[in-house]
Chains A and B, each alone.
Chain A
Amino acid sequence: MQSTELVVFGRSDPSHGVQALADEFRTIAREHRTAVAQRCDSCASTQFPPMLACPVCGCAGLSWVSCGDTARVGTFVTVHTAQATPSMSIPRRLRAVVPYTSVFAAPDAVPDVRVPALMLGPQQRDIRVGSAVGFGFSDDYGLLANLLG
């Protein structure tokens, strides 16, 4: 069930292709400092990442919506090393904060999607699938997830 009361940040513009859509997403997310998903103006289904058209009804009318402040952890990955290997590379700006955890969380307001966020600090030891998290935003690290309770 999709909330009809999500905050809408404006129309998403898929007409310039997938990379422009990704660039637009980053701009919206940074401007509003929150988790953002895409919602179909016609059928109200939500998706993340954003798509060129609604995969449910095919409508090209899509909007950016806020995902609210809280979520549940769907899955997570903790990175233990700052050293690259032939098959993996650590984002440069995160090497100084290893260990860090990529969290893939289902927002309470938009439970059909998962959005990626970053978790830092000692709280990582306590993260579990199903943990309740709150979203924050950092200029350096983007969307953050912090354990609640």
Chain B
Amino acid sequence: MPRLAVIAGIGETAITPPGSGRPSDTMTLESARAACLDAGIEPSRIDAIVKYTYDGSLSGMALAATLGCAEVNALVEIPMGGGSSAALVDIARMLVESGRAQAVLCFRTLAGDEWLKQMITADPLRPYYLDGSNYLRESGWTGYLHSFAALYAEYESRHHLSREALFRSANALRANAAKNKVAIATTPLSRDEYFDESARTVGPFTRFDEYAVADLSCAAVVTAHGFTDRPDREVRIIASAQSHGPSAKTWFDLRPLTNTYPESPSSWVARKIYAEAKIEPRQVDVALMYDCTSFTVLDLVETYQLCEPGGVAELLADDAFRADGTRPVNTHGGDFAAGYSAGFRHVLEATRQLRWEADNQVPDAEFAVVAAPQIGPTSGAVLQRSAG
């Protein structure tokens, strides 16, 4: 009988604006313990840890020692930036389904101000990091927003997506955030503030089109079905995949130098996970799409075939992203409005939705898709409500 990997437990710290003063290492410990508690297992039973490379809060080695893990069968770091979110679940699943680990802890912690500094700091351990500076800076590259602004231009040339749609996207995510107990940006944006020319930054974006910076930590425990004594709380991982897509580049920011749009690392992942899950996109009840910008999420909705090409503007006009809408998306407000987690809180929200315990619940949710961003090596997963 093949082992089926499930998300057995989730946990997180409070989400606060940046500068809370909470040390990131203690936040990691807190969320890790909370996930173990939710799974109903002692932290000592964790025997593998999977984390984002760029999470400097606590190494896997230090966390395993502090949790008192009886043994560690794997310590893994995923270097794909935001693309890592579902990849953590994918790797955990591989470990569990192969029998190499029993209980895998996955986590992401961010101290918002530290993260912003880290994003613009060269790192000698990642030599290709400088490819963005080396090849794009002279022509005016400004940072990660440049890549998504370039993606917007390619989309807009095919389907026309106005700044009005981005305004609606930002407010749709804030509206979803407002229905949750914990979120950073819940107040609707006014037209005056959004369309004020002084708010313009890069491409179609304003300073309101980026994610909400926060201090937070979130964790999940992946086990085999039946490992814990709480099978009714398990969420099944029925598909997961990673891809670097067509035209692989050496660093995320080089995505505008590719010419394969709309094909992307995410379109390759989407095909893989729908095929593995044996479901059609129309069967997805709730979509948790990476949303570092107001456009990123819209492009992923189409990439994952959750509407027709060019149809996402109509979804926004119809207010479809609501939990009771026709296409629920980022019901927690996403990283965009709830607080930036490099996409990992999307895994937690998917789990809550499928347990039917979310603050902003989609009625009768059975399938959730989690999608990481489309500009570099990336990942995605399909989760299903447990039959138990």
Contacts and interface: CB of A to CB of B under 8 A. Distances in A.
B128 A80 contact: no
Contacts of B254: 49
A37 B144 CA distance: 24
A79 B138 contact: no
B310 interface: no
Contact of B210 (A26, A79, A87): A87
Given A80-B200, A113-B257, A87 B145 contact: yes
B139 A103 contact: yes
Contacts of A76: 150, 153
B201 A81 contact: yes
Given A22-B131, A77-B202, A88 B145 contact: yes
B201 A102 contact: no
Interface in A43-90: 48-49, 51, 55, 74-81, 85-90
A147 to B, nearest CB: 15
Given A74-B256, A78-B203, A116 B138 contact: yes
A51 B157 contact: no
B51 interface: no
A86 B116 contact: yes
Interface in B125-160: 127-128, 130-131, 134-146, 149-151, 153-154, 156-157
A94 interface: yes
A111 to B, nearest CB: 8
A142 interface: yes
Interface string B195-212: 001001111000100100
Interface string B213-234: 1000000000000000000000
Nearest to B117: A86
Contact of A75 (B127, B153, B210): B153
A129 interface: yes
Interface string B262-292: 0000000000000000000000000000000
Contacts of A114: 256-259
A23 to B, nearest CB: 8
A77 B256 contact: yes
A19 to B, nearest CB: 6
Q: How large is the interface on B (under 10, 10 to 19, 20 to 34, 35 or more residues)?
A: 35 or more
B255 to A, nearest CB: 9
What is the predominant secondary structure among interface residues of chain A facing chain B? mixed
B61 interface: no
Interface string A102-128: 111010000011111110000000001
B130 A22 contact: yes
A143 B140 CA distance: 11
Contacts of B202: 77-81, 88
A89 B153 contact: no
Interface in B93-128: 116, 119-120, 127-128
A17 interface: yes
Contacts of B120: 87, 89
Contacts of B151: 75
Interface of A: 17-19, 22, 25-26, 48-49, 51, 55, 74-81, 85-91, 94, 100-104, 106, 112-118, 128-130, 141-143
28 contacts: A18-B130, A18-B131, A19-B127, A48-B135, A49-B254, A74-B256, A75-B256, A76-B153, A77-B153, A78-B202, A80-B197, A80-B200, A81-B200, A81-B202, A85-B201, A89-B142, A90-B142, A91-B137, A91-B141, A100-B140, A102-B150, A104-B257, A117-B139, A118-B139, A129-B156, A130-B157, A141-B138, A143-B139
